[in-house]
Amino acid sequence: MKFEKWGAARLVLGPGPLGRSMVLDYPSWDVFLKAGEVKTIKQGKSTSVYTWTPLRSHEPELGRTGAGLLWRGPDQASLVMKFYRTLLFPVWWPWLCGRPKRVWPIGTGLERAAGPVPAHAALVRPGSGVEVIVTEYLGGAVTFYAFVTAGQATEAHFDALGRLLGRLHRLGVVHGDMKWSNIMVTCAGGHEGIRFWLVDLDGAFRFTGAGPEARARDVARFMCDAMKEGVAEVLLAAFRQGYHQDWPRDDGLEREIDRRLGSLLKKKGLLGVWHRQGAF
């Protein structure tokens, strides 16, 4: 991963055309920021998330006076900027301070493999102690939680998400935090146009060992949210069936999934749900 000079900042472009078409249109990071409308999505101690939408100057109509207006064209795509506060000496806390350098290769690798992640535009280092991952904004997307609570989810959708997670594991990647708020849903018209996307790859990593622990954690985390929301058993069964279409079933993995799911439900005070529904 080699950083290129971009004004006073440094950057690495993503594998697709998004970075060149929307980031390198601007001569520097400062110009890029000032040329867009920035809105806060989430602010935290170590990470913050914003959206950026380009502004364009619009000439007044004939017969009108005054300066040009700023507008956001409907065809102008937006971006998501995730800021990471890093330390100068990450050896003290490599997992936290090295997150951008760890997350970027995983995200861009999944994008190259046509994985279910938003397109990656650039990894930017504006200055000391800050790095920013810039990705595609999924216009009109809702969380899987909102999708389910709106009564839109069917067995086919749970099956598709199971297959999506199984394919992710076949690519050698564990998401690390498969809660429903990290799964986004977009619709391009009708149920056939529904797509699922995985966001927030901060906990993601590549696994090489044969043990089932990491994979089981992903499956159990998804199912914990499902059981918390009182999802029907048939939908949970569809998810696990879909998962095993892309990842082979074995007793060790099944036991580890059930063990981790029971532990998660116990922490959330939902063991009664576990006892009523049992393992699948």
Same structural domain, 197 and 245: yes
The pLDDT score that the predictor gives to residue 106 is 96
The pLDDT score that the predictor gives to residue 245 is 94
Same structural domain, 74 and 173: no
Last residue of a domain, one of 136, 154, 171: 136
Q: Which domain holds residue 273?
A: 142-277
Question: What's the gap between Cα 241 and its chain centre?
Answer: 24
Cβ–Cβ < 8 Å for 196, 164:
yes
The pLDDT score that the predictor gives to residue 146 is 95
Same structural domain, 171 and 253: yes
Q: Per the structure, how many domains does the chain have?
A: 2
Same structural domain, 126 and 148: no
Same structural domain, 114 and 195: no
**Distance between CA atoms of residues 211 and 219, nearest Å:** 14
Same structural domain, 250 and 147: yes
Same structural domain, 112 and 152: no
Q: What CATH number corresponds to the domain at position 236?
A: 1.10.510.10
Same structural domain, 46 and 148: no
Q: What CATH number corresponds to the domain at position 92?
A: 3.30.200.20
The pLDDT score that the predictor gives to residue 189 is 65
The pLDDT score that the predictor gives to residue 279 is 47
Same structural domain, 124 and 155: no
Same structural domain, 98 and 180: no
Last residue of a domain, one of 82, 104, 136: 136
Residue 61 zone, left/alpha/beta (φ > 0; ψ -120 to 50; rest): beta
Same structural domain, 150 and 205: yes
Q: Mean pLDDT of successive 10-residue segments in the chain (280 residues)?
A: 91 94 92 95 92 70 34 60 76 59 94 96 92 94 94 94 96 95 86 87 86 93 94 94 93 93 89 56
Same structural domain, 105 and 124: yes
Taking the CA of residue 188 as centre, how many other CA atoms within 13 Å lie in the half-sphere pointing to its CB? Answer: 5
Q: Which residues pair with 42 in a beta bridge?
A: 49
Where does the chain have alpha helices with state H? 18-22, 29-34, 94-97, 99-112, 144-149, 155-170, 213-228, 233-246, 251-267, 271-277
Last residue of a domain, one of 98, 120, 136: 136
The pLDDT score that the predictor gives to residue 167 is 95
